[in-house]
Amino acid sequence: MVKSAPAPTANRKPSKVEGLKEHSNFLREPVASELLQDTTHFSEDAVQILKFHGSYQQDNRDNRVKGQEKDYQFMLRTTCPGGFIPPQLYLTIDKLADDYGNHTMRVTTRQGFQLHGILKKNLKAAIAGMVKSMGSTLSACGDVNRNVMASPAPFKNRPEYQYAWEYAKNISDLLKPQTGAYYDIWLDGEKIISAEEKPEVKAARQNNSKSIVEDSLEPIYGNLYMPRKFKVCVTVPGDNSIDLYSQDLTLVVMTDEKGELEGFNVFAGGGLGRTHNKEETFARMADPICYVTKDDVYEIVKAVVATQRDYGDRTDRRHARLKYLIHDWGVEKFKSKVEEYFGKSLTPFKELPEWKYQDFLGWHEQGDGKLFLGVSIENGRIKDEGTLQLKTGLREVVEQLNLPIRLTPHHNAILFDIEPENKQVVQDILERHGVVTDPDKIDSLVRYAMACPAMPTCGLAITESERAIPGILDRIRSLLDKVGLQDEHFVVRMTGCPNGCARPYMAELAFVGSAPEAYQVWLGGSPDQTRLALPYMERLHHNDIETQLEPIFVFFKQSRKSGESFGDFCDRLGFDAIREFAANYEVETVAPPEITDDSDGLVEAMADSTTGAVVEESGGKEVAIANTTIASSKSRHRVSVQDDIYVKLKAAATSQGKPMSELVNKALEAYFENQA
């Protein structure tokens, strides 16, 4: 079960990172000094401060050679509220990826861009180039407010969306670090203003209230900044394209009958990061907190931030997020403390409609006579590969038509402000480069899936994610076809570690890296990301995917209610029923050759993966995973075949409407009869 909170922080020493922040001269050192050194990488102390500037130091594990220095490189992440990317900035990032990076651009699940493969010697030029094109990497990482998300749909005739984008930008400005270190280090002191912040935002930051650290260069953060990262989003009623329950702070735009802004509903306390075998770490959904008028929105944001700033755990970084503070205190105590900073009583939360997830792919009217096009980007990776020349195609569209872009929380991109007469121009360019613009032509499993980058550059990755999920989705699709669920789809997410960057704990089916080539399996999230998934299996080797998922899919087919989603089915039936059905189910699966761990065609016995005990607490909002176990139940045998034989076998099985295993068994039976 979830352990009790650690001992009071007053009796424990602050973590090392707290000391580094305190002595960094407001995020300058040791980054500024070490940047001047002729080395391939920064020290560990500098790396902690470098994060605040929007960069992570990484090494390419594919290139590791024993006895040689690591292949050090850097990831840069942009800060772009609501995912807004002006055309010139897009073209700059595209060029920087070629000049200094690995020739790809990665759309993140927080509506930003990441560039990978940048060398230390090119880091300053890359950041400077981005800033000079109205971009920024400041506070994209580190113990500060990260990129503020907003629903990406560019509806110009729906004022609630306009307000969401406006306040995402304003809150980003409000919570932006005020230190000049960023400009001192990367632009030699030249402060480039991409967009002037509103006077009311500037006034709110300096307002002399209890939320403010007086006489500080950082009036909201102070010299220690936040105990841990802080995530904010702004959305509109009913639109859960931004996974609102996974955020530290969510604002929901509330308008009157005329579409005029009245105020905001406030959620707080969401977060998905956790650590394997650390029961005190868990995924948690945000709670409704209050409603505030539009005049008080900046003060409530500051009050929530200040509560976390002053009472968040600075001794244990695994226990430092706002979700743990609310869990330890309870929602009512948290609201009481927020009231102290806010300076007035909190107003009750207002009723909201049901939340729905949308990805906004395909062509849409944006409400002002123009069009927008949502483009699916598999795993968020914009690159040229084979017949799919996505990077070149998007660049040509932006260059030719000067179109702005909004990145989506599902790591896709929306081209907008398209004149109707240019629709065919956009269509022709993209299709010529192999880009599918009709979402109905994209496999639905692929369309709704997400994966984090993981290997080879993420230092936290335990196993593969982005590079593994295409093959795993193909296998799941084949399995669904086999059991008669050809038209079924559900939300699948994968991460290479338990930190949850692709938000797996809100998915209907999720794979969370737990060991090399192995994953925890989580089931039961909702299609609209309004319910946490729960851990079903502690460790599943990727070779066992068919063996373990087939009985679950068959049970789903046999026992679902009319129109019931896979996630809702798993949540309704519960894991005991699913495991009981699976235990009595005989799997008949022939593994394709590329997923077997032998290459000699011999019979291979695969032990099932099983789970330890799982405890659910607090109404399903918090999950603790049990210690890893690798107990085995009855073994099932699998046969690998050569590529050309497998292709023929699959085609024959499909044409005859029979399982491949049936054809194999008949063929082997005939073979042995002839031998006799």
Catalytic positions are: 77, 146, 229, 231, 452, 458, 497, 501
**Main-chain phi, psi angles of 551, to 5 degrees:** -60, -35
DSSP-derived 3-state class of residue 150: strand
Beta strand 72-77 with 149-150: parallel, antiparallel or unpaired?
Answer: unpaired
Check residue 145 and report its DSSP letter. B
Distance, in Å, from the CA atom of 57 to the CA atom of 212, rounded to the nearest integer, reads 32
Check residue 558 and report its DSSP letter. H
DSSP-derived 3-state class of residue 11: helix
Residue type, 174: L
Cis peptide before 659 (omega within 30 of 0): no
DSSP-derived 3-state class of residue 449: coil
Angle, CA 75 vertex, CA 71 and CA 78 arms, to 5°: 170
Asked if 286 and 325 count as a contact pair (C-beta separation under 8 A), the reply is no
**Main-chain phi, psi angles of 261, to 5 degrees:** -70, 130
Q: Which of 508, 510, 504, 494 is nearest to 462 (CA)?
A: 494
DSSP-derived 3-state class of residue 113: strand
Q: Is 215 exposed, middle or buried (0-12, 13-18, 19+ CB in 10 A)?
A: exposed
Distance, in Å, from the CA atom of 340 to the CA atom of 606, rounded to the nearest integer, reads 59
Say what angle helices 545-559 and 469-482 make with each other, to 10 degrees: 50
Beta strand 232-235 with 405-407: parallel, antiparallel or unpaired?
Answer: unpaired
DSSP-derived 3-state class of residue 653: helix
Distance, in Å, from the CA atom of 58 to the CA atom of 75, rounded to the nearest integer, reads 7
Report the chain's C-alpha Rg in angstroms.
26
Structure tokens at 352: 């909201």
Buried b (16+ CB within 10 A) or exposed e, 76-86: bbbbbbbbbbb
Structure tokens at 570: 């798993």
Q: Which of 498, 517, 518, 520 is nearest to 509 (CA)?
A: 520
